[in-house]
Structure 1
Amino acid sequence: MRRRNTQYAVRNTQYAIRNGILRLATVLLLAFILIGAAIPYWGVVRAQELTARPDNPRLVEAERRLDRGRILDRNGQVLVRSNIDADGIAHRRYPYPQLAPVLGYWSLKHGTAGIERAFNDPLRALPMSFRASLDQWLYHRLPVGHDVVLTIDLELQRVADQALGDVRGAVVLLDAQSGAILAMASHPTFDPARIDEDFARLKDDPGRPLLNRATQGRYPPGSTFKTVTLAAALQEGLVYPGQMFEDGDETLYVEGFPIHCDNNPRGVNRFDLAHAYAYSCNLTFARLGLELGTKRFKEYAGRFRIGREIPLEIPTATSQLANDPLLMSQVLLASTAFGQGELLVTPLNMALVAATIANNGVMPQPYLAEQIQPRDAEPSAIRNTQYAVRNRRILGVPITEATAQQVRDIMITSVQDGYARRAQIPGAVVGGKTGTAQLGGEDTEPHAWFIGWAQKAGDPDARTYAIAVIVENGGEGSLVATPIAQQVLQAAVNADRTGN
């Protein structure tokens, strides 16, 4: 009996041990299954999210050592590069820091801006090829970033910066047919290589050097906007070239507000449409605005991209026009038609207005990046390949070719026999319009404007250059902005003559 009890106790003990081992094995098996499932989940499904976290020290260290791609001008001139020091740390260098409003900056502390942000992935060699990924995984070799080739012409950019000088303002020069931006100056500027040291000061600077005035500055356009009103009135058949006006000595009262020709240097009462534009008669263009009416005026403003986004690789502001209740006011409609009133525009927008007139009524889509170029590739092998950044596109056709030709002829008159005569260039056909945007207050100087275009004379196939210049609180557009535009356009036309 005692022996039987002992055997029973032994069997119970063995059973309990087996059950314990089985339970332990089951727990361990489940744990291994969970671990096995977690590894691919975190290592594959959530890998990109984890590695991209800004607090990932391996990512920060990799960024410090990454040889980011270069940024080049259209002729291969280096605008941005990385220098690797003795410890393997990369330092971003900007040989031409004046272009900072376009190029932006790269900083582990403050992030990226401008072209550095827009093309951050290719500059970091993303997405990586299979070979580059394998090298990084097996040998811990960091990839070499791709180069980004811009449409900017460094020589024309230098001319734009030098012509603008130390004033606050902007210059936009573009190819009127393709929309390629050849120069974009915004002053004051900053040194992007010192962004970590200077960021707090730059952010509080009243001159706002971190603002790209060319794409994000919004200003009343002054008389340059008469170009839009002129195009709309001609397109609608409200006026015709050669039409005569007796507005020189007249005063038009709109809701009790007097409008007259402030600029009548010849002292004549009678002049044609071209000279009403050339000498910037507010009264004539107020009449045209009132004849267009609120609905048609807003429609044509929208066609010329006022109140509509302008797509570009870097941030742009949208030009603003008063809403319908305000524009229903006849006095506001009249004053907006000659460039004052409730209207704010960007220099880029006004450069596109000039480009549309020069380009037979077609508004090109502006762009800054021509192509992405792997560091080890020949430039000739990149063009027209999968690395091309974009195909040529347009933003719209605001007016017909016939209307554009009429406006071009009137803009030529403005340069040959008007306030824009300082824009004349020997050997070139130039059209343009000056603007002096009043800001209100006797102690505040107006903004000085010029918009226009130029093409080598005698060669209809030559490239046409469109430009917009603004000098904040610069005074008269004809005296201040026009000479700046003339210098830049002359450099562009001369470069075209030499085939550069």
Structure 2
Amino acid sequence: MKYYYDPQNRLPYKKRLRNRCIAIAIFVAACALIGSCIFKNDEKATQPRGFVVNGNYLTAESKESIKDTLRVDSSIIDSLKEAHRAIKLKDTLTESAAKSLIIGDARATTEAAPEASNSAAIDTAGTSIPENDPVDSVHIKNQKDVFLAQKIDNMLRRFKPMYGVVLVVDPKSNEIIAWGETKDYKVQNEPDFFVKNTFPAASLAKTITIAAAMDANRYSLNTPVPMLGASHTLYKRQLRVPENYHGTTISLADAYAKSANPPLALIGMEIGAKRLREAARNLGYNMNFPGGIPGKSSYAPPDTGYGLAEASCGFTEATTLTPLLAAAQVRSILTKKPLEIPWAENIAPYAPKSRIALDVKKFNENTYYGLRMAMIRSITNGTARKQISTRNMARKNFAALDIGGKTGSLDGQDPHGRYEWFMGFAQSKENPDKAVVVVVMQVHDLQGYRSQPATQVAAMIMNYWAHQNLWPQK
């Protein structure tokens, strides 16, 4: 009798492949078990000296493993200590995250948890302080807003900029409510950078150019300007606009928001050095302030040529700016009032002790409106868009605020490094009286480590301020 192979009774391919895998796995497991039994005695004979813990033989490798475990446990204990400190200081931004860390509950317990989840992670990242960096809290306790000052101090110790200054001002009273400063990566007890006038203004000088252009009633936010070449360069060929030009253009607002050098240079050359100097005067440049607080910020554009183009877009180290004056400029734009230097009662001689009227003029109402909207454009569609967003702020806070600002970066010499600026404001949409002015200036090592961007630091400060001031405290 003959038997014929019937392909219809053969198992499906998937089942056959599964059976083969199972068979191979069983075979490998069996080989491993046999091998472990054979070589077990040899391993014991050649095992290095150690000691016995709870009846188990502990080798040098085991010792290192235990040390690593202890290090992890130590870091967890440190984290728990920081969480407990956050709750003790009533830091509402990190309190929910801290409690979650202590009791092991990762669930959101308040209705604001979805909006605050991303900001809590960001802000708790800046609260741990290295053990080898002792904290002198005297300068923190002497500030107007102690909790915000503590937050800034923690961030500076965490992020470690080579040189840096953070300045926070209440625009309604023009009083300095919190500040922080670092030199050579160490937090300082005195804010002497407030009055130092050797910092290049970089693209913050573009504020002068658009202020002069709008105050002369020759430009509006939507006026198209020729855009030749890359925005971050300034070659002479980018300043030669052909007759009957029909190429790429950019609006005045976008040129400012995206910090485009050629368009702002063309605007400055068109309106002239005289108008630029007048606008700079209204913004506090080239002024000797009472008591020399702050030092005189310089702005000296030549009447013609490439130097005028450089000054118009901030592409020169000759234009300098102090952090105090930067805060005063933002406050003036936000409140539509003449320039006034921020003051504080207890940080003399680095800020005035009281409000002092200055001999400066106002811009017209349209200019103040245009400056404010151009700053807001920098956040929504410009150079600060990436960091001042829900990436570094709670969605609830970001949606409740009108945020504006200006960024700038340029190499400088005193101190030597890459300067990075942010000056701006955050204002409640529902209650415009609730607002804050933030200035961040950092100097990075050209060859080494760079800390977090100034825009990210500003976003975290605004986020913390919003948590403390916009929502009722429970």
Contact 1:170 1:471 in 2 (8 A): yes
Contact 1:163 1:487 in 2 (8 A): no
Aligned twin of 1:224:
204
Residue 303 of structure 1 deviates from its aligned partner by 1.4
Residue 480 of structure 1 deviates from its aligned partner by 1.0
Residue 479 of structure 1 deviates from its aligned partner by 6.6
Aligned twin of 1:96:
137
1:466 aligns with 2:458: no
Q: Where do 5+ consecutive residues of structure 1 fail to align?
A: 1-93, 104-149, 192-206, 262-267, 372-388
Aligned twin of 2:388:
423
Aligned twin of 1:131:
none
- Give the one of 179, 196, 211 matched to 1:184: 179
Q: What aligned pairs does 1:236-275 form with structure 2 within 5 A after superposition?
A: 236-249=216-229, 257-259=236-238, 269-275=248-254
- Give the one of 445, 451, 455 matched to 2:423: 451
1:472 and 1:416 map into 2 onto residues whose CA distance is 25
Aligned twin of 2:333:
357
AA aligned to 1:469 is: V
Contact 2:375 2:406 in 1 (8 A): yes
1:449 and 1:391 map into 2 onto residues whose CA distance is 26
Relative to structure 1, is the Cα distance of residues 303 and 190 closer, same or farther in structure 2, using a 3 angstrom cutoff? same
Contact 1:354 1:466 in 2 (8 A): yes
2:382 and 2:429 map into 1 onto residues whose CA distance is 20
Contact 1:177 1:364 in 2 (8 A): no
1:162 and 1:97 map into 2 onto residues whose CA distance is 14
Relative to structure 1, is the Cα distance of residues 307 and 164 closer, same or farther in structure 2, using a 3 angstrom cutoff? farther
Contact 1:455 1:493 in 2 (8 A): no
1:434 aligns with 2:404: no
SS of 1:363's equivalent in the other structure is coil
AA aligned to 1:363 is: L
Aligned twin of 2:344:
368
SS of 2:219's equivalent in the other structure is coil
Q: What aligned pairs does 1:14-25 form with structure 2 within 5 A after superposition?
A: none
Contact 1:447 1:477 in 2 (8 A): no
Aligned twin of 2:363:
399
Q: What aligned pairs does 1:272-421 form with structure 2 within 5 A after superposition?
A: 272-311=251-290, 315-322=293-300, 327-341=302-316, 342-369=318-345, 390=354, 393=357, 396-421=360-385
1:494 and 1:311 map into 2 onto residues whose CA distance is 36
1:454 and 1:231 map into 2 onto residues whose CA distance is 20
Relative to structure 1, is the Cα distance of residues 467 and 288 closer, same or farther in structure 2, using a 3 angstrom cutoff? same
1:400-440 deviation per Cα after TM superposition (whole angstroms, max 9, x unaligned): 23211111112111101111112235121100111112349
1:265-308 deviation per Cα after TM superposition (whole angstroms, max 9, x unaligned): xxx93322221111111011111211232222112111111111
AA aligned to 1:455 is: Q
Contact 1:159 1:487 in 2 (8 A): no
| TM-score (normalised: structure 1) | 0.55
AA aligned to 2:261 is: N
1:279 and 1:242 map into 2 onto residues whose CA distance is 14
Aligned twin of 2:146:
154
1:477 and 1:395 map into 2 onto residues whose CA distance is 40
Contact 1:189 1:210 in 2 (8 A): no
1:303-337 deviation per Cα after TM superposition (whole angstroms, max 9, x unaligned): 1111113447x953221223xxx623421121111
2:189 and 2:298 map into 1 onto residues whose CA distance is 23
AA aligned to 1:282 is: N
Contact 1:98 1:190 in 2 (8 A): no
Contact 2:412 2:418 in 1 (8 A): yes
Residue 367 of structure 1 deviates from its aligned partner by 1.0
1:140-196 deviation per Cα after TM superposition (whole angstroms, max 9, x unaligned): xxxxxxxxxx763121222223333421111111112321111222213999xxxxx
AA aligned to 2:147 is: E
| TM-score (normalised: structure 2) | 0.58
1:182-222 deviation per Cα after TM superposition (whole angstroms, max 9, x unaligned): 1222213999xxxxxxxxxxxxxxx9987711222521111
Contact 2:144 2:177 in 1 (8 A): yes
413-422 vs 162-171, which moves further: 162-171
Residue 365 of structure 1 deviates from its aligned partner by 3.6
AA aligned to 2:297 is: S
Q: Where do 5+ consecutive residues of structure 2 fail to align?
A: 1-134, 241-246, 348-352
Relative to structure 1, is the Cα distance of residues 243 and 230 closer, same or farther in structure 2, using a 3 angstrom cutoff? same
1:470 and 1:350 map into 2 onto residues whose CA distance is 10
Contact 2:281 2:287 in 1 (8 A): yes
Structure 1 outlier segments of 4+, above 6 Å: 207-211, 474-479
SS of 1:182's equivalent in the other structure is strand
Relative to structure 1, is the Cα distance of residues 490 and 208 closer, same or farther in structure 2, using a 3 angstrom cutoff? closer
Contact 1:173 1:466 in 2 (8 A): yes
1:238 and 1:474 map into 2 onto residues whose CA distance is 41
1:420 and 1:410 map into 2 onto residues whose CA distance is 12
1:477 and 1:307 map into 2 onto residues whose CA distance is 32
Question: Whose strand fraction is larger, Structure 1's or Structure 2's?
Answer: 1
1:40-60 deviation per Cα after TM superposition (whole angstroms, max 9, x unaligned): xxxxxxxxxxxxxxxxxxxxx
Residue 395 of structure 1 deviates from its aligned partner by 6.1
1:241 and 1:447 map into 2 onto residues whose CA distance is 28
Task: Please tell me the root mean square deviation across aligned C-alpha atoms, in Å.
Answer: 3.8
Aligned twin of 1:173:
168
Contact 2:171 2:335 in 1 (8 A): yes
1:360-394 deviation per Cα after TM superposition (whole angstroms, max 9, x unaligned): 243234210189xxxxxxxxxxxxxxxxx756756
AA aligned to 1:319 is: S
Aligned twin of 1:111:
none
| Percent of aligned positions that are identical | 23
